[in-house]
Chain A
């Protein structure tokens, strides 16, 4: 039985948070405007986009990882970027996994507002950027749901990060890939320690977000 050195545990945990946090941030940055636009506007081809988002919400991470790996492979179309087996590639793959969740849940939250919501806000004479602020405030419970779903999805995901990251010690090893590796090696003590940290992280994040969500109801 191998015990994991504390420094390595901290290193892996911080990298996990870094990769997942970056992916979540990017997914929100890209997904919120798209979700709001899809929820508020009616245009030709919207139904197709919504269907694509909905099926993307259930896309298996392993398949996403495979596509990302094929694209980023040295001889692949994006091979020139040199991202393969780097944290950047892991962030990119996780953005692809999180994006449909963010877009889909934002879209549903915006769609739940009254049909003429925006017109009603305009009718109060509120300037455009404040209208957006009001909209975000109005759908904030939905946004929190999107954050929880996206973070849950990428924090616990192992297939994609393994394929494009490669689980390189000190470089691309994150909690899930480390757990997988130590389990395969029969180093159960280390795997259990890592799993406890992962579960703890999920618990803390879910707790914080739920607390925010509940206080936001007032």
Chain B
């Protein structure tokens, strides 16, 4: 991996907030050129504070912030404030004090607007924009000064699904074209996955885990991170010598790894990896369950299955195959591929 554009290290800061004192601690967090780091965390985890630290807007009494590339670190807030005046005035404002000539500034403004596909809105008053247009305006404004680092706080707020998809494509293109290093904070896993190259899980003011997206999704380091990244099925178990996790005398689950025999830990299975009633070759059978509840949102059917006195979650494509015939109370055989079963060692009461 290339040299990071921005690194914060050993940060430890305390801020008073509405809910009382809040402490943010980060051992090390880096942003890389052309890469998106998504900081995923529940509300109140310290995401916005972390973003301000990355932007250099928080005075640090402990720790350091090192930016290796020239150019600003532009931060786009969750509720962005547009300046009174036209769309192009808003973008031009970001170039105040940059020393650019009038013509160069004008060109920069135009390029930034075009980059986010709002060139046709240049003369409009910013106050008359829709939510999606305003998002694009503030991104164009942040990009006008050619930042080396772009920091986005919940960039998909107030956007419908189509708007989210369109903005994702534009952001991906702009990131590839400019090589800007990006950090996004969000509490919404699905939105996080739209952009993330890497994920950092922020819980209670601490980065609990960071790594490539697929790794964090498949191998969360703790139950708290597992919940955060959507690994909803978490079952307490003891490792058997043959690489299976024993839930009780009648229920065992094959594991991707072979933990030391007798180790206490948690079995983690993502809902999409837990299969109902499929033939052999689709993983290992883990016993029978019974359908407890069905929720159909038109795209996905969310199924809860009682198994070993617990409740497991899985989902099916709505209106297709099994989802059409499934009803509450149906007995189901459950199976899972061993490579999809994650083992989180330790009793970890969290």
A interface residues (Cβ-Cβ under 8 A, vs B) = 113-114, 116-117, 119-120, 122-127, 129-130, 133-134, 137-138, 140-141, 218
Task: Report whether A123 and B75 are in contact in the complex, using a CB–CB cutoff of 8 Å.
Answer: yes
The answer to whether the Cβ of B207 comes within 8 Å of any Cβ in the partner chain is: no
Task: Report whether B96 and A127 are in contact in the complex, using a CB–CB cutoff of 8 Å.
Answer: yes
* Contact A124 to B94, CB < 8 A, known contacts A116-B77, A119-B57, A218-B125: yes
Task: Report whether A124 and B55 are in contact in the complex, using a CB–CB cutoff of 8 Å.
Answer: no
Interface residues of B in 22-62 (CB under 8 A from A): 52, 55, 57
Which listed residue, A120, A125, A130, A134, touches B72 by the CB 8 Å rule?
A: A125
Q: Which A residues lie within 8 Å of B77 (CB)?
A: 116, 119-120, 123
Interface residues of B in 65-112 (CB under 8 A from A): 72-77, 79-81, 83-86, 93-94, 96-97
The answer to whether the Cβ of B141 comes within 8 Å of any Cβ in the partner chain is: yes
Q: Which A residues lie within 8 Å of B145 (CB)?
A: 124-125
CA of A73 to CA of B233 in the docked complex: distance in angstroms? 86
Task: Report whether B97 and A120 are in contact in the complex, using a CB–CB cutoff of 8 Å.
Answer: no
Chain B interface residue count, CB cutoff 8 Å, equals: 26
Minimum Cβ distance to chain B for residue A71 (Å)? 41
* Contact A126 to B96, CB < 8 A, known contacts A119-B57, A218-B125: yes
The dominant DSSP class at the A interface is helix
* Given A117-B81, A130-B97, A134-B93; 17 other pairs, CB 8 A cutoff: A113-B81, A120-B75, A120-B81, A123-B55, A123-B75, A123-B77, A123-B151, A124-B72, A124-B94, A124-B141, A124-B142, A125-B73, A125-B145, A127-B97, A137-B85, A141-B84, A218-B125
Chain B: which residue is nearest A131 at the CB level?
B96
CA of A86 to CA of B333 in the docked complex: distance in angstroms? 101
* Contact A137 to B72, CB < 8 A, known contacts A123-B57, A123-B77, A127-B96: no
B interface residues (Cβ-Cβ under 8 A, vs A) = 52, 55, 57, 72-77, 79-81, 83-86, 93-94, 96-97, 125, 141-142, 145, 147, 151
Q: Which B residues lie within 8 Å of A130 (CB)?
A: 96-97
CA of A134 to CA of B84 in the docked complex: distance in angstroms? 10
Minimum Cβ distance to chain B for residue A111 (Å)? 14
Q: Which B residues lie within 8 Å of A218 (CB)?
A: 85-86, 125
Task: Report whether B84 and A138 are in contact in the complex, using a CB–CB cutoff of 8 Å.
Answer: yes
Q: Which B residues lie within 8 Å of A141 (CB)?
A: 84
Task: Report whether A134 and B96 are in contact in the complex, using a CB–CB cutoff of 8 Å.
Answer: yes
Minimum Cβ distance to chain B for residue A19 (Å)? 33
With most chain A CB atoms within 10 A of its CB, the pick from B93, B141, B145, B147 is B93
Minimum Cβ distance to chain A for residue B171 (Å)? 18
Q: Which A residues lie within 8 Å of B141 (CB)?
A: 124
CA of A116 to CA of B73 in the docked complex: distance in angstroms? 17
Task: Report whether A137 and B84 are in contact in the complex, using a CB–CB cutoff of 8 Å.
Answer: yes
Q: Which B residues lie within 8 Å of A116 (CB)?
A: 77, 81
CA of A71 to CA of B79 in the docked complex: distance in angstroms? 51
* Contact A126 to B57, CB < 8 A, known contacts A120-B80, A138-B84: no
Task: Report whether B83 and A138 are in contact in the complex, using a CB–CB cutoff of 8 Å.
Answer: yes
5 contacts between A and B (CB under 8 A): A114-B79, A123-B57, A125-B94, A126-B94, A137-B85
Q: Which B residues lie within 8 Å of A113 (CB)?
A: 81
CA of A134 to CA of B76 in the docked complex: distance in angstroms? 18
CA of A133 to CA of B75 in the docked complex: distance in angstroms? 20
Chain A: which residue is nearest B72 at the CB level?
A125
Chain A: which residue is nearest B95 at the CB level?
A126
Task: Report whether A134 and B57 are in contact in the complex, using a CB–CB cutoff of 8 Å.
Answer: no
Which listed residue, B57, B85, B97, B142, touches A122 by the CB 8 Å rule?
A: B57
CA of A125 to CA of B142 in the docked complex: distance in angstroms? 9
Minimum Cβ distance to chain A for residue B236 (Å)? 44
Q: Which A residues lie within 8 Å of B86 (CB)?
A: 218
Q: Which A residues lie within 8 Å of B85 (CB)?
A: 137, 218
* Contact A126 to B81, CB < 8 A, known contacts A119-B57, A218-B125: no
CA of A56 to CA of B293 in the docked complex: distance in angstroms? 67
With most chain B CB atoms within 10 A of its CB, the pick from A113, A114, A120, A127 is A120
